[in-house]
Amino acid sequence: MANLQIGDRAPAFTLLDQHGEKVRLTSFKGRPVVVYFYPKADTPGCTTQSCALRDAEPDLAAIDAVVIGISPDPPSRLAAFDDKYSLGFTLLSDPEHVVAEAWGAWGEKTLYGRKYMGIVRSAFVVDAAGRLAGVFPKISPKDTVPKTAKVLAGL
């Protein structure tokens, strides 16, 4: 698992979004970006986290920040999640978890004593120059907006 630090260059990626279109991180250069990794669309924690980011959109838009959510879900499931909750931001499909691994958001988890590999809920703030300004591994859904907003306010 990658161990990204503040000041590191954000790992590049190109993934399909909820509409089946290719999205590159580099296409947001010059703007701050909140990148968050979540285990599965339309589950309680992921819904809480995503809706909190949706609700923060006016504040994020005021500073020209972009939100990108990444999960292993296929684009069709991401589209249904986006439609159901009117998220309105980019959701990307990483079924092979290549991007999650590069960002350190793929690792060992434990559920009811069973160990398995999966998405480690994480959030990152990428500054306008493409460098990490905030790194939050194992973040809780309710802490995503306050912690990323604090970093964004300091940019």
Of 3.20.20.70, 3.40.30.10, 3.40.50.2000, 3.30.365.10, the CATH number of 14-153 is 3.40.30.10
Separation CA 144–CA 155 (nearest Å) = 17
pTM of the model: 0.96
Condensed to tens digits (0 to 9), the pLDDT of residues 131-145 reads: 999 999 999 999 999
Q: Where are the domains of the chain?
A: 14-153
With bands split at pLDDT 50, 70 and 90, how would you rate the model's confidence at 1?
A: low
Condensed to tens digits (0 to 9), the pLDDT of residues 74-92 reads: 999 999 999 999 999 999 9
Helix (H, G, I), strand (E, B) or coil at 25: helix
Q: Is residue 101 over pLDDT 90?
A: yes
Percent of the chain with pLDDT strictly greater than 90: 96
Candidates 10, 23, 46, 53; catalytic one: 46
Our answer to whether residue 46 is catalytic in this structure is yes
Phi and psi (nearest 5°) for 35?
A: -110, 125
Q: Which residue in 71, 48, 69 sits closest to 118, CA to CA?
A: 71
Separation CA 11–CA 61 (nearest Å) = 24
Q: Facing residues of 131 across strands?
A: 9
Q: Is residue 127 over pLDDT 70?
A: yes
